[in-house]
Structure 1
Amino acid sequence: MESNDVILKKLNQLEILIVSTAKQILTVDDLINYTGFSRSYIYKLVHKSIIPYSKPNGKTLFFQKNEIDEWLLQNKSNSISQIEQKAIDYTTFKK
């Protein structure tokens, strides 16, 4: 019986995740499910204006999924092989 409860809980989590990722405009709850960040961390990011958000009615927070994706992927770090390839390209084509 306990395993059924675990399965139902996991199915519910999957449903929430699928619905959240299909949306283009996210609420705080959607953003929690999408990023895995805690509610307090999201509010901290908003308070410090670190994360892009909208507050059209002065109370409810909304986030554009494409802006969140861009924000999540900023400050990308190159792998060692990418750095080595850039060095080879630079020395080859610099001449």
Structure 2
Amino acid sequence: MMTNNFEKRLDRIEELLTQFLQNKTVLNIDEVASLTGYSKQYLYKLTSKNKIPHYKPHGKNIFFKKEELESWMLQNRQATSDELEEEAISYTVNKIPSTL
């Protein structure tokens, strides 16, 4: 009986934390690690090489703007096979010189 109540409470806490993270605009390193699935060590490596957008207002703590982070994560989009096929057809149709 207590286990069921405990599990419900944990589920509710997890739900609240997820909602909180979704509504935040500035994230710390732990939150970015949770969001991206990257380890903190890897994130520190990316920040030290300036490979990821970040902020250091007092030279120590690292913060990330969620919007910039999402844009960064969505860089270098890979086209689907359907998109590539459509592009190839379009190129072929528009680039073949007319023999007339």
- Residue 75 of structure 2 aligns with an amino acid whose one-letter code is Q
The 2-side partners of 1:51 and 1:11 are apart by: 32
- Give the TM-score of the pair, scaled to structure 1: 0.81
**What is the correspondence of 1:1-95 to structure 2 with a 5 Å cutoff?**
1-95=2-96
Where do 4+ consecutive residues of structure 1 move more than 6 Å?
none
Q: Percent identity?
A: 35
> Quick one: structure 1 residues 89 and 66, their matched pair in 2 at CA, closer, same or farther if it must change by over 3 Å?
same
Mean alpha-carbon deviation: is it higher for 67-76 or for 45-54?
45-54
The 2-side partners of 1:35 and 1:8 are apart by: 26
Over residues 16-73 of structure 1, what are the superposed CA-to-partner deviations in whole Å (9 max), with x where a residue is unaligned?
2221121222111221232232322222222232211010111111111121111101
- Give the TM-score of the pair, scaled to structure 2: 0.78
- Residue 42 of structure 1 aligns with an amino acid whose one-letter code is L
Mean alpha-carbon deviation: is it higher for 54-63 or for 18-27?
18-27
1:87 Cα deviation from its structure 2 partner? 0.6
The 1-side partners of 2:67 and 2:34 are apart by: 15
Larger Rg: 2
The number of equivalent residue pairs is: 95
> Quick one: structure 1 residues 36 and 6, their matched pair in 2 at CA, closer, same or farther if it must change by over 3 Å?
farther
Any stretches of 5+ residues in structure 1 without a counterpart?
none
Please, what is the CA RMSD of the aligned residues?
1.8
Any stretches of 5+ residues in structure 2 without a counterpart?
none
> Quick one: structure 1 residues 28 and 72, their matched pair in 2 at CA, closer, same or farther if it must change by over 3 Å?
same
The 2-side partners of 1:77 and 1:54 are apart by: 28
